Amino acid sequence: MERLYILRQATERKLTQAEAGRQLGLSARHVRRLIRRLKEQGPSSVPYKTQPGNRGFDMAVKEEVMQLVREKYCDFGPTFAAEKLKEIDKLSINRETLRQWMIEAGLWRGKKRKVLKVHHTRERRPRFGELVQIDGSHHDWFEGRAPKCCLIVFIDDATGKIIAARFEPTETTFGYMRCIRAHLEKYGKPLSYYSDRHSIFRNNRKDCVDGIITDTQLHRALRTLGIELICARSSQAKGRVERANQTMQDRLVKEMRLRGISSIEEGNAYLEEFIAKHNEKFAVPPQNSTDAHRPSFHDAAQLDAILSVQSERKLSKNLEFSHNCVLYKIVGEGRGYRLRHATVTVCELMNGEVEVYCGERKLQYTTMQGPRRAPVVDAKELNPYVDQLTEVDPHPR
């Protein structure tokens, strides 16, 4: 409108062509050209006329790309779709170009910027292994090809590198212990883990019995290993692992779809390959190149005992105790007078086996099945447990 107003003033000789050129930032010669075009074609000739650039794609290429996107990548984001087009279909398209094409075709909607609460950014820890953020992400990872499950993720704070990840039917203590075991075997012991305040990590009871609040099984295991556990008060505090969960819910789901992965076992087998690609793309170097991981001096048997669910029992005069409705009878050489009324530690291992210790001495036992009792299920385990019962009995009473 400004350009049209100035050109009309020049046409009516209220402005000279040189003055109009100075206001428009144009030469007097180009102003004369615009005035002539205005007289011949009218006001519609005043806006800039754009021409396709020399580096623009042909319509045939655009149609070919959009056909592939509709068939294979219709629910992919533009960035991820551009990566897959280059990796699988050998078509190199800039992600911003593809974004505009997908918006034009109605396959992508531009996101509006949200008005968010300001959270001050915390600096990354300087060394690799100094702080590891851990979390479980419940999602339909296999898009209906398998039951919904939980992906447990360990990510380093200094580098953004995924250290360990594992699919589990639900978020459980043993699931985290399996990831901790993989972390220890590959890198060693970190200085600390950063988690939420779920009851797996922290005892959240406001009241207690006889003034005693016991640690959780995971907290007890980490304390034995010499690893500090820090519980965040908000999800933003451990935002690095939360953001990694969002990325994996987008990229990992689609990668498994392209490969036809349809079970937890197949997913766990593929995770190592995915983590290598993810770390290559998103990980950053630490500020300090020194590795903060410490060597673990526990052997495999000791790690099995530490990373287990432990409870204490007191032996009767017949060297017996009950655990989970199973009667355990201690057997061994001699009459076992010293073990009468002794306190023993019962360790439920990750593989389902049970070991009994008196101090550091491992005891042998035989078992006798007792009456079954109603199971106690955690809140996050309730849905998978009910689904399992439904599969066994399609018409429960």
How much of the chain is helix, strand and coil, in % rounded to 5?
40, 20, 40
- pLDDT tens figures, 219-250: 999 999 999 999 998 888 898 999 999 999 99
Spans in the chain with pLDDT lower than 50? 394-397
- List, in sequence order, every beta strand (DSSP E) within 60-197: 127-128, 132-139, 149-156, 162-168, 192-195
The residues pairing with 136 across neighbouring beta strands, listed in sequence order, are 152
pLDDT at 203: 84
The distance between the two most distant Cα atoms of the chain, rounded to a whole number of Å, is 122
pLDDT at 394: 46
pLDDT at 395: 47
pLDDT at 375: 67
Euclidean distance between CA atoms 397 and 392, whole angstroms: 12
Euclidean distance between CA atoms 146 and 142, whole angstroms: 6
